[in-house]
Structure 1
Amino acid sequence: MTAPTTDAPTQEIASGVDNEIFSANQRKPIGSVGLLIAAMCIAYTAFHIGVMNLYPLETWTYRLLHVGGGLVIGFLLFSSLTFAESEGNPRTGRMLMLAPAAVLVGVAFVQVMLFWAGGTGVDQAASATATRWTFGVPLLIGTVWAMLVAWFMPDPRRGQLDLADIILAFAAVAVTAYIIFHAPLLRLRAGTGLAKEADMFAALIGVLLILELTRRMAGLALVIIAGIFILYSFVGPWLPGILYHRGYSLTRFFTYVFTDQGILGPTTAISSTYIILFVAFAAFLQASRVGEYFVNFAFAAAGDRRGGPAKVAVFGSGLMGMINGTSAGNVVATGSLTIPLMKKVGYKPQTAAAVEAAASSGGQILPPIMGAGAFIMSEITGIAYSDIVVAAIIPALLYFVSVYFNVDLMAQKFNMKGLPREELPQFRKLAKQVFLFIPILILIGALFMGYSVIRAGTLAMAAAAVVSWLTPYKMGVKEILFALEISTKMTLQLVAVCAAAGIIVGVIALTGLGTRFSSLLLGLAENNQMLALFFAMIVSIVLGMGMPTTAAYAVAASVIAPGLISMGIDTLTAHFFIFYFAVMSAITPPVALAAYAGAAIARSDPMKTSVESFKMGMAAFVVPFMFFSSPELLMQGEWLNIIHVVAGALLGVFLLSSAVQAWYFGHLNTVLRIVLAVAAVAMIDSGFLTDFIGIGTAVAVWAIQKRLVKPGAVARGAD
């Protein structure tokens, strides 16, 4: 299905920002095949919305259909290669090469269908090796065979489905159908000595398919990390110290990891409910052009200010990133508009890309949606969603104010102008359409009125369709179906990475690695909480490099959070701390996915862009330490104390931004940059002494720059 069109002309600057984004390895099937894939995508999202609101399913069945359906559509839509500009033809003999894989997977598929038709499967009375040659071995060999052909002899036709990937899709159906049929038995025997060989084969092939789809959609980083954790499960008996464990058999490990302790656990629980719901909400906003309105509104409000496009990126990309769910994906969506405009008013290519990356990443910490982060945190910690959203307000404010300070100071430094007012949307005209913010307001209102997250998200989605009827882009049946279709395409990456993260979570639970790592953290920090937080920051960033936020946070929280909490750090503070650094891994060199996505659009050096984005978002590396030492930043405490701490924090991030940009009330030399940076770091502690140091330093540097005093006089005054 193609995007619906309208006769209404689009004159606004953000026209096209809501268009569907195609990745380099995404197919564009045409004709009846394209309609079939569109129908599958529509059915996938509609199924989830229906189950969540109307007809609840048993937990394992629902999550297995979520993962299995994502695998099927993912393999059909996303190739193992990046498509070239011009299509070629498949290699001669390729069909013949795939014939054995098709036969082997077909045999296993028929065996599973016979289970369902006959009503009996591999029950507890069956032998340990039952269906080895009619299910397990054929499915494993056929799946690996098809995977290898897809790697080394890919089909270069973008408009056609690849037979190898069709075979992998059938393998995914066979695995899903087997586990659903045997779920009542697997709840009892998975991960124990009672598990059957067939159970192991189904789980093993399921893991292989998840990792392959993750590689296609999110790159190798998460696949390598998951592979290391899987390897660790088997080499534990030969490892020293805290890494030692007794080891596990193939059957026990793989059947355990495909339960609600691993792949079907918390990460898939989130992706099958909150993530898919709010991605669908974002898709409805996209299909109704509300996202386009958000960006136009930002341009009308700030586009003519100095460095205007950069300020638009801060607000527009932050707002879009909040509902988008992935930092890099949001950079591609909004950066294609904002980055060229930033370059137009004088920003260097790497700076333009860095601003977009920092703003889009910040959307992941912006309430009320936080790119699904709030829902994941609520699921893991048991803390009410509303409490998490309230706690996130001030840290998000500090981050975006900091990025704003950076772009404004840079604009002052290089005397950058905004865009001409005649090139921008008319604010008066857009103000008349402020009702397009209603879906967001309904979402927030419903949540704070006590509605469930699912009900609130569904109401907001419906509101997005209703408000579109007051615009030229009315959502009818065709537009709603299009929204459901693109929702599935936007969700697939998160389905894959959450399932892959579930593998890691399962390994941690099975081996007890989280508890042992917590003991190591305690030992290294020697009960020094600040030192423990520093180690936690490093681990969160390293684990998050190359991984989407949801997976990065889920893995880091499993490894680090128990140790921090056992040291007496508040649960909410510990998880927020980990979450912020997992988010910021997207703009942290050397592997910064959001910065690299921006660099591709700006045609800048990826490493220079990642360094620049790190500087732009530097406040995010300070704010978590601030809310550790000052819980008031998480809305915990008296209002007067909260106001005092926020005022000090705002001064701190302004001083830090000035030091980074080498501009305060004029150019800063190296010495004054260091002085301001030290003062900014001092503001981490919210005490009156540090406030005095920060304010005194700010005034002293201002006086020096205005030539009211000389540096020597300030130094003597300090004595």
Structure 2
Amino acid sequence: MIGSLVSTGRRRKLAAGPHRALIIAAATFSAWVVYANLFTISDPLVLGILFVSGIFAIMFVAIGASPNAPDRVPAYDFALSGLSIACGVFFFLNATIISDRISLLEPFTTSQFFFGTILMILTLEATRRTTGLGLTSVVVLFLIYNWFGYLLPPPFGHGVSEFSYLLDILVFTTDGIFGVPIQVVASYVFLFVMFGTFLSASGGGEFFFNLAALVTGRTRGGPAKIAVISSGLYGTMSGSPTSDVVATGSITIPVMKRLGYTARFAAGVEVAASTGGSAMPPVMGSAAFILAEYTGVPYNDIVVAAIVPALLYYLGVFGQVHLRAVKYDLRPSEDEIPTVRQTFATGWVFLIPIIGIVTALLSGYSPTFTAGVGVLMILLASSLMKRTRLSPWGIIEGLGDTTLRILPVAGACAAAGLVIGGLSMTGLGMKAANVILVVSNSQPFVTLIIAAIVTIVLGLGMPTPSAYILAAVLVGPALAKLGYPILQSHLFLLYYAVLSALTPPIAVAALAAAAIADEDPFKIALSAVRLAVVGFLLPFAFIWNPGILLLGDVEANTLAVVGGILATIAIAISVEGTYGANITYIERILLLIGAVACITPLVGVSLAGIVLILGMLMRYGVLLKRQTKPEPIKAGG
């Protein structure tokens, strides 16, 4: 049952000739996206039209209709690809007419009705192939509600909606398919994915792995710590927990298993580490760009606000991995650790584009411009050394792979546009917000709990961008009505959209790890949830204390960060039940009480919590030192 919800169409393995033709077509499309964003097209409707039709045309050739689809492209997929191009040509040639027409008043022509309906059907099929039945079913349910919701009693019913009314909003305006999600994907998300593609193709992924191995590989639990750091570094560029698990987990999980880690723990570490990458600045996956566009908060502000929570998340995972390694004496593998010279012999070139991107973002340049500069810098930096240099065909492959990597995100965001358009048309978002407030009796803490649960449920089996978008339009208004600031509340929703990737029962990231680890995905997901427990608590912490997001004055921010670090360490010790030796349940409870006190915005309480945690950590340090101190040799012995 779960498998059918998350199973997607099969990525075809075409023969050499057709594969080369597909890569060239995808690379041409990719080059056009760069040109359109940086040099020409400024009309969002035209950009959306050309992007959607082009990406669909490639999608129906690259991805089969089912998990068992043949490698050879059948005639009906060529027909769907042709229809996508035909829709793009029609909408492009009629873009001015479509922009000038008065929605809901001017009747459709026969051709407008035909191509609009075809494009909606193509969007649903593209969503099903790229993201599975889960998201597709949600979209279909919303479409049914939009069309037949007038039959429902108040407060859930709405005005009579004919199909033409629905089609008008969802296809012929920038509120539907061509709305904010696809606009974001067609601009800076695409360019940042291109940056990550070229970074990986030139050897950046290997550099991240070696860097993590160099820092932590010789400590206890080294391979698991390598997985945590390398997955976080790679994940912030890839923006997809599932692809991160596949890319880095194929290396780290077998190494951990070979050194005596259980398959469940090894896979759980990889899943928890990979999932957090989507919340790690500077890229944070495509959902962060959508958050910036949807809320109007500058992306630079989002990056600054998100840095401390992301680091605390990884501190929590890293801390639990370390404590588990100490408890079970999990030793490193010395022969697989690179030297500083080996790591930076060629890896230093990858620091140039990363520093460049961070500098450009902090300097106030737009994300689109920053991503474009990043792509140019990675191409120039990689050309400095023979080992990292990309050949002309390698550059074409990088361009083509960018388009192929963006297919699932594009399919999900086009479908999300259908949902957003329908919600704005029927007012369901505000109705859902009112229901949430009624259920919670407008109690802030209860509302936050419901918001977290709803976001996780919406995200089960869905890509992070789709989960966040649905939560933003259905749950976001409830948080706004309670007066929560927009940045804090939407980062709250984004975190739970990200964490849905590792939450049972579906846990798509765990499903990806299960194939590598040869372990039950449900058990992997439970292990990952335990390792990521800090991530589930963080959103409540930064809603309560905005200093964790660096939104206060210097003193408040400093106290919040120090308290957050100590609270994270305390939670890790409490969850694992050890600091190197087992602790009692009373100590666990004291640590949790101290953790809560540390993150409170009340200065006196926070200082008391910090003193309590520091005192317990100092005590544990003394006890641990006594345990490891060698026994003195007795006289005459």
Q: Which moved more, 1:293-302 or 1:605-614?
A: 293-302
One of 42, 45, 56 as aligned partner of 1:60: 45
**Aligned partner of 1:275 among 169, 182, 189:** 189
Q: Does 1:257 align with 2:170?
A: yes
CA 1:210 to 1:707, structure 2 compared with 1: closer, same or farther past 3 Å? same
User: What pairs with 1:574-585 in structure 2 (closer than 5 Å)?
Assistant: 574-585=489-500
Report what 1:222 is aligned to: 135
Decide which moves more: 47-56 or 671-680: 671-680
Q: Give per-residue Cα distances to partners, 1:33-52, cap 9 Å, x unaligned.
A: 22221111111110000111
User: 1:567 aligned to 2:482?
Assistant: yes
1:234 matched to which residue of 2?
147
- Does residue 540 of structure 2 align to residue 625 of structure 1? yes
Structure 2: distance between partners of 1:485 and 1:554: 27
Report the Cα distance in structure 2 between the residues aligned to 1:476 and 1:343, rounded to whole angstroms: 36
For the residue of structure 2 that corresponds to 1:628, the secondary structure is helix
Q: Which residue of 1 aligns with 2:5?
A: none
Bigger Cα displacement from structure 2, 696-705 vs 363-372: 696-705
2:383 aligns to what SS in structure 1? helix
* Preserved CA contact (<8 Å) 1:629 1:685: yes
What is the CA RMSD across the aligned residues, in angstroms?
A: 2.2
Question: CA distance change for structure 1 residues 247 and 599 in 2, over 3 Å: closer, same or farther?
Answer: farther
Q: State the secondary structure of the residue aligned to 1:622.
A: helix
Q: 1:696 to 1:58 in 2, by over 3 A?
A: closer
Structure 2 Cα separation of the partners of residues 33 and 462 of structure 1: 29
Could you tell me which of 40, 65, 78 is aligned with 1:80? 65
Equivalent position of 1:299 in the other structure: 213
Once the 2 structures are TM-superposed, how far is the Cα of residue 519 of structure 1 from its aligned partner?
Answer: 2.3
Q: Quick check: 1:191–1:254 contact (8 Å CA) kept in 2?
A: no
Quote the Cα distance in structure 1 between the aligned partners of 2:313 and 2:85: 44
Aligned with residue 186 of structure 1, among 95, 98, 103:
98
Shift of the alpha carbon at 1:448?
A: 2.2
Distance 1:201 1:662, change over 3 A: farther
- Give 1:469 deviation, angstroms: 2.1
Give the Cα separation in 2 of the matches to 1:625 and 1:291: 33
- 1:399 and 2:384 matched: no
**CA distance change for structure 1 residues 242 and 655 in 2, over 3 Å: closer, same or farther?**
farther
- Show the counterpart of 2:608: 692
Q: Structure 1's 700 and 31: CA in aligned 2 closer, same or farther, altered over 3 A?
A: closer
CA distance in 2, matches of 1:61, 1:483: 25
In the alignment, which residue of structure 2 is the partner of 1:203? Answer: 116
Mapped to 2, the partners of 1:79 and 1:280 lie a distance apart of: 24
Output the CA distance in 1 between the equivalents of 2:129 and 2:607: 50
Q: Distance in 2 between matches of 1:682 and 1:604?
A: 39
Check conservation: 1:349, 1:603, Cα contact below 8 A: yes
What is the deviation of 1:193?
Answer: 5.8
In 1: Cα distance, 2:155 partner to 2:237 partner: 40
Which AA in structure 2 matches 1:335? G
From 306, 309, 313, give the equivalent of 2:227: 313
Q: Which moved more, 1:621-630 or 1:169-178?
A: 169-178
Deviation of 1:59 after TM superposition, in Å, equals: 2.2
8 A contact 1:200–1:250 mirrored in 2: no
* Separation (CA, whole Å) in 1 of partners of 2:605 and 2:160: 54
Distance (Å, rounded) in 2 between the aligned partners of 1:570 and 1:41: 41
1:169-568 alignment, distance < 5 Å: 169-187=81-99, 188-192=101-105, 194-258=107-171, 259-420=173-334, 422-432=335-345, 433-471=347-385, 472-568=387-483
Structure 1 position 290, deviation (Å): 1.7
Equivalent-residue separation in structure 2 for 1:675 and 1:694 (angstroms): 12
TM-score by length of 2: 0.91
Deviates more, 1:401-410 or 1:640-649: 640-649
In the TM superposition, what are the counterparts of 1:22-171 in structure 2 within 5 Å? 25-83=10-68, 156=70, 158=71, 160-171=72-83
Q: Is the 8 A contact 2:479 2:489 kept in 1?
A: yes
Q: Which amino acid aligns with 1:186?
A: I
Q: Deviations over 1:14-34 (max 9, x none)?
A: xxxxxxxxx981112224322
Does the CA contact (< 8 Å) of 2:60 and 2:78 recur in 1?
yes
Q: Deviations over 1:285-343 (max 9, x none)?
A: 12211222111211122122111111111111111111102111111111101111121
Q: Does the 8 A contact of 2:545 with 2:601 survive in 1?
A: yes
* 8 Å CA contact retained: 1:525, 1:532: yes
Task: Compute the displacement of 1:439 (Å).
Answer: 0.5
Long gaps (5+) in structure 1: 1-22, 84-153, 709-719
Q: Deviations over 1:142-178 (max 9, x none)?
A: xxxxxxxxxxxx5x3x2x2222211111122222223
Q: Aligned partners of 1:390, 1:698: CA distance in 2, in Å?
A: 27
Cα distance in 1 for residues equivalent to 2:105 and 2:253: 54
Q: Is the 8 A contact 1:287 1:482 kept in 2?
A: no
Q: Which residue of structure 1 lines up, in the alignment, with residue 562 of structure 2?
A: 647
Q: Secondary structure at the match of 1:246?
A: coil
SS in 2 for 1:589: coil
Range that drifts further, 536-545 or 656-665: 656-665
CA 1:568–1:57: 2 relative to 1, 3 Å: closer
Shift of 1:625: 0.9
CA-to-aligned-CA distance 1:602-625 (integer Å, 9 cap, x gap) = 111111111111111111111111
Contact 2:594 2:612 in 1 (8 A): no
SS at 2:178 equivalent: coil
1:392-445: per-residue Cα shift (whole Å, max 9, x none)?
11111111111101111110111101111x322212332344232111110111
Query: Distance in 2 between the 1:321 and 1:707 partners?
Result: 38
Give me the whole-angstrom Cα distance separating, in 1, the residues matched to 2:583 and 2:305: 35
Q: 2:10 touches 2:64 (CA, 8 Å); kept in 1?
A: yes
Residue 462 of structure 2 aligns with an amino acid whose one-letter code is: M
Q: 1 CA distance for matches of 2:16 and 2:86?
A: 27
Residue pair 1:229, 1:507 contacting (<8 A) in 2 also: yes
1:515 CA drift (Å): 1.6
Aligned-pair identity in percent equals 33
Q: Which amino acid aligns with 1:469?
A: S
Residues 597 and 608, structure 2, Cα contact 8 Å, conserved in 1: no
Amino acid at match of 1:608: K
Q: Is the 8 A contact 1:666 1:705 kept in 2?
A: no
8 Å contact from structure 1 (residues 189, 195) kept in 2: no
> Which has the higher Rg, Structure 1 or Structure 2?
1
**CA shift for structure 1 position 531:** 2.1
Q: In structure 2, what residue type is equivalent to 1:539?
A: V
Quote the Cα distance in structure 2 between the aligned partners of 1:172 and 1:354.
40
Structure 1 614/200 Cα, relative in aligned 2: closer, same or farther at 3 Å? farther
User: Which digits, 9 at most, give the CA deviation of each residue in 1:486-514, with x for residues without a partner?
Assistant: 11111111111110111111111111111
SS of equivalent to 1:586 = coil
Supply the AA of the counterpart residue of 1:547.
M
Q: Counterpart of 2:155 in 1: which secondary structure?
A: helix
Letter in 2 for 1:65: L
1:197 Cα offset (Å) = 5.0
Matches within 5 A, 1:587-598: 587-598=502-513
- Pairwise CA distance, 1:281: 0.5
